[in-house]
Amino acid sequence: MRILDGMTTLPDGFHGAHRRDEIEALLGRHAIRKAVEEGRLVAFSRIVLVDRRRLLDLPTRAAAALLHAGPRAVLTSHTAALLYGCSAADPGSIHVMVGYDQHLPSRPGLTVHYGQYQESDVVELSELRVLGLDAVIAQLLCTTSRSTALACADQALGSVAPHLRGELRAEIDHQLTVRADPRGRRRGRFLLDLATGLPESPWESRLLLKVVDEGFPVPTPQHEVRDLNGRTLYRLDFAWPAVRIALEYDGYAAHAGRQERDRARDADLGRRGWTVIRVTHEDLRNPTWLFERLRMAFAGQWGVVAA
Q: In this structure, what CATH number is given to the domain that contains residue 266?
A: 3.40.960.10
- Residues with Cβ within 8 Å of 121's Cβ and at least 6 positions away in sequence, in order, are 74, 131, 132, 135
What are 120-159's pLDDT values in tens digits? 999 999 999 999 999 999 999 999 999 999 999 999 999 9
Region 40-68 average pLDDT: 97
3-state secondary structure of 137: helix
- Residue 166 and residue 147 share a domain: yes
On whether both 258 and 206 belong to a single domain, the answer is yes
- Residue 307 in domain: no
Q: Are strands 245-249 and 275-279 parallel, antiparallel or unpaired?
A: parallel
Residues 75 and 113 in one domain: yes
The last residue of a domain, from among 53, 70, 95: 53
- Asked whether residue 151 is assigned to any structural domain, the reply reads yes
Would you say residue 275 has pLDDT above 80?
yes
| Band of pLDDT at residue 304, cut at 50, 70 and 90 | very low
Last residue within a domain, chosen from 194, 216, 231: 194
In a domain, 293, yes or no: yes
39 and 66 in a single domain? The answer is: no
Same domain, 222 and 264: yes
Alpha-helical runs (H) found in 120-178: 133-143, 146-158, 165-178
Taking the C-alpha atoms of 185, 187, 192 and 194 in order, what is their torsion angle to the nearest 10 degrees? 170
Which range scores top for mean pLDDT: 17-21, 266-270, 298-302? 17-21
State pTM to two decimals.
0.89
Residues 58 and 50 sit within 8 Å (Cβ to Cβ): no
* Residue numbers of the domain that contains 46: 2-53
Report whether 120 contacts 166 (CB < 8 A).
Answer: no
Average pLDDT over residues 281-297: 95
Q: How far apart are CA 294 and CA 277, in angstroms?
A: 8
The tally of domains found in the chain comes to 3
DSSP letter for each residue of 228-272: TTS-EEEEEEEEETTTTEEEEE--HHHHTT-HHHHHHHHHHHHHT
Q: Residue 182: pLDDT above 60?
A: yes
Distances in whole angstroms, Cα of residue 44 to Cα of each of 16, 22, 51, 80, 98: 11, 15, 10, 19, 18
User: CA of 7: how far to CAs of 25, 30, 95, 96, 153, in Å?
Assistant: 16, 13, 37, 37, 50
